[in-house]
Amino acid sequence: MYRKMDDFLKDWKNEEEFTLKIFSLISVEAKTEQVHEHVRALDRLAWHLTQTITEMGKRAGLLADDLLEHQAIPETMNEIAEIYKTNSGLLCRAVRLKWTDSSLEDLVPMYGDEWMKGKILQILLLHQTHHRGQMTVIMRILGLPVPGLYGPSKEEWIAMGLPAMD
């Protein structure tokens, strides 16, 4: 759970860059590829991450409306990335304007429960990380390059002239 706004905002900015890095590596051919009937396609996962910003933002009282709720998946990954960046920025501005360090322990009704505001921020970030992990597995299955986010990927180890870890 976050206890300092600046901690969340720094983490979110870093994670936003990781998310956009993943989005940028998804090819036109691969974005709608279904690897299994029970696994979302990459464009659907990217759009889910984007929509979650406004959906949770509205539920938490940070955003007035969930403007993405009924929007279809955009045609291109570039469009998804731009909408993601815009709404990520809106979320960060709302957090700065509406919440304070001292309010992060305040309770907010969320999904039939009550969550502290600091927990909402943590879950927003962890939810994104969870789905990015799914995306990298799908990318690997589809033969796309996988970026190192928290350390070098296999491709990055090899590019550095080092043996890739198995």
Binding-site residues, in ranges, read: 48, 127, 131
- Among candidate residues 120, 154, 125, the one with its CA nearest the CA of residue 137: 154
Q: How many CB atoms lie within 10 A of CB 149?
A: 18
Q: Which residues are annotated as a binding site for a divalent metal cation?
A: 48, 127, 131
The CA angle 69-114-89, to the nearest 5 degrees, is 45
